[in-house]
């Protein structure tokens, strides 16, 4: 099935609803929100595409269909589980003012963002924003101590919930609490933070950003404090170093042989903070590139639209074409 059973996943709360007698006994279809919207706009039966279906926690990655044995054991076989469509199929036709618009299969947001990062099979993705993920493409299926998600004919091995922006914001909120208490709004604390980190070449302050249950653990800490290292520069350098340690540990869980050739940074935090990228690069001892756009999900939708509408033969071809276009534009602007 490729992922852990989280309470927020449809399979888990459908099971709870069944146990509580809250599921309808007549025919009912488990549907994600985008599939539900398309079905109602187009007056069709809801269907699913594999990248979205896998998020239900009831998907069999070996058959690329619903895991009917699990579904039956959990007492959910009476539900009318939607047909799993291939990526790029038309899920319905929307008619407005006499004009018809094809509605294509919705896709998973994580997969869409990594398409927009132009991720290739020899690259390790580090998507760093409020949360962060470490991901590596693989073909064929390789299950292990990580999540595995469908990825448009290939698979994405990934570790999610690695502490990032949410944890760093706890530190920022602590440091700005007195100012807020006096109704003083700091314009951009991150500018000072990055300059302070750049001024500190090394630190023995130790920070663990696992301030909440995450891939980094359940108990965060700040230790080895001394008078001369309790500063913003030391604090955030230590935090960035902890992030780098979490990323390389996660990467080696996914691929002990370190099969990647370079890193790909995407997400707002990775785009914004060059010092964080430099610290991670030193930890990995690998070259990196930045995602071509901060709007990686929208760029992914563009690549997927090129394939769904028949303009490009595959997702790999579409991402390579767009990557080449961005490289050419960058050279032209120089």
Mean pLDDT, to the nearest integer, of 70-83? Answer: 94
pLDDT of res. 329: 62
Distances (CA, A) of 308 to 52, 78, 91, 155, 313: 16, 33, 11, 19, 9
**DSSP string covering 291-305:** -S-S-HHHHHHHHHH
Characterize the bridge pairing of strands 147-151 and 84-85. Answer: unpaired
Distances (CA, A) of 119 to 47, 113, 293, 317: 27, 9, 13, 12
Q: Are 57 and 1 in contact (CB under 8 A)?
A: yes
Do 176 and 223 share a domain, yes or no? Answer: yes
Rounded-to-integer distance, Cα 200 and Cα 237, Å: 7
Instruction: Record the pTM.
Output: 0.90
Whether the pLDDT of residue 330 is over 60: the answer is no
Whether the pLDDT of residue 326 is over 90: the answer is no
Do 264 and 143 share a domain, yes or no? Answer: yes
Predicted confidence band of residue 94 (pLDDT cuts 50, 70, 90): very high
Q: Are 251 and 258 in contact (CB under 8 A)?
A: yes
In a domain, 5, yes or no: no
In a domain, 210, yes or no: yes
In a domain, 204, yes or no: yes
Do 100 and 235 share a domain, yes or no? Answer: no
Do 14 and 98 share a domain, yes or no? Answer: yes
Whether the pLDDT of residue 216 is over 80: the answer is no
Which of 189, 212, 245 delimits the end of a domain?
245
Do 148 and 260 share a domain, yes or no? Answer: yes
| Domain around 148 | 110-160+251-333
Sign, CA dihedral 30-34-37-41, equals negative
Predicted confidence band of residue 113 (pLDDT cuts 50, 70, 90): very high
97: CATH: 3.30.420.40
Rounded-to-integer distance, Cα 330 and Cα 130, Å: 28
CA 111 to chain centre: 7
């Amino acid at each position: 099935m490729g992922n852990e059973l989280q309470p927020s996943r449809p399979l888990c709360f459908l099971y709870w609803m069944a146990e509580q007698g809250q599921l309808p006994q007549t025919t009912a279809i488990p549907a994600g929100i985008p599939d539900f919207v398309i079905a109602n706009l187009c007056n069709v039966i809801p269907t699913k595409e594999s990248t979205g279906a896998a998020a239900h926690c009831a998907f069999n990655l070996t058959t690329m269909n619903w895991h009917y044995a699990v579904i039956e054991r959990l007492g959910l076989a009476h539900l009318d589980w939607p047909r799993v469509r291939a990526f790029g199929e038309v899920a319905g036709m929307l008619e407005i003012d006499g004009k018809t618009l094809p509605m294509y299969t919705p896709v998973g947001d994580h997969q869409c963002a990594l398409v927009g990062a132009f991720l290739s099979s020899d690259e390790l993705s580090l998507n760093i924003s409020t949360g962060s993920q470490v991901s590596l493409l693989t073909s064929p299926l390789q299950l292990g101590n990580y999540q595995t998600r469908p990825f448009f004919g290939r698979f994405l091995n990934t570790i999610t919930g690695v502490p990032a922006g949410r944890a760093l914001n706890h530190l920022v909120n602590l440091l700005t609490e007195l100012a807020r208490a006096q109704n003083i709004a700091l314009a951009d604390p991150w500018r000072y933070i990055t300059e302070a980190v750049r001024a500190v070449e090394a630190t023995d302050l130790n920070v663990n950003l696992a301030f909440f249950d995450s891939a980094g653990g359940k108990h965060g800490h700040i230790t080895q404090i001394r008078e001369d290292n309790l500063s913003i520069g030391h604090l955030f350098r230590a935090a960035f170093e902890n992030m780098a340690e979490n990323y390389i540990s996660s990467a080696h869980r996914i691929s002990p042989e370190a099969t990647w050739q370079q890193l790909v940074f995407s997400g707002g935090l990775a785009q914004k903070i060059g010092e964080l990228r430099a610290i991670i690069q030193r930890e990995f001892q690998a070259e990196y590139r930045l995602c071509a756009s901060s709007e990686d999900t929208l760029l992914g939708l563009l690549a997927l639209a090129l394939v769904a509408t028949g303009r490009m033969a595959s997702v790999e071809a579409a991402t390579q074409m767009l990557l080449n276009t961005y490289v050419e534009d960058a050279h032209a602007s120089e």
